[in-house]
Amino acid sequence: MPRCTACGANNRVERDKLASGLQPVCGRCKQPLPVDASPLTVTDASFASDVERSPLPVLVDMWAPWCGPCRMIAPALEELAIEMTGLVRIAKLNVDENPATSARFAIRSIPALILFKDGREVDRMLGARPKAEIASRLEQLIG
Angle, helices 68-83 vs 131-142, to 10°: value is: 50
Query: Region 47-52: what's the mean pLDDT?
Result: 94
Residue 31 near residue 7 (C-beta atoms within 8 A): yes
Nearest-angstrom CA–CA distance, 86 and 1: 5
- Among residues 4, 7, 26, 70, which one is catalytic? 70
Given a cut of 80, whether residue 143 has pLDDT beyond it is no
Question: What domains are defined for the chain?
Answer: 1-35 (no CATH), 36-142 (3.40.30.10)
Please tell me the predicted confidence (pLDDT) of residue 24.
Answer: 82
Mean pLDDT is lowest, of 17-21, 32-36, 83-87, for 17-21
pLDDT in tens, 9-25: 777 777 667 666 677 88
Active site residue 67: yes
pTM equals 0.78
Tell me what percent of the residues of the chain surpass a pLDDT of 70: 90
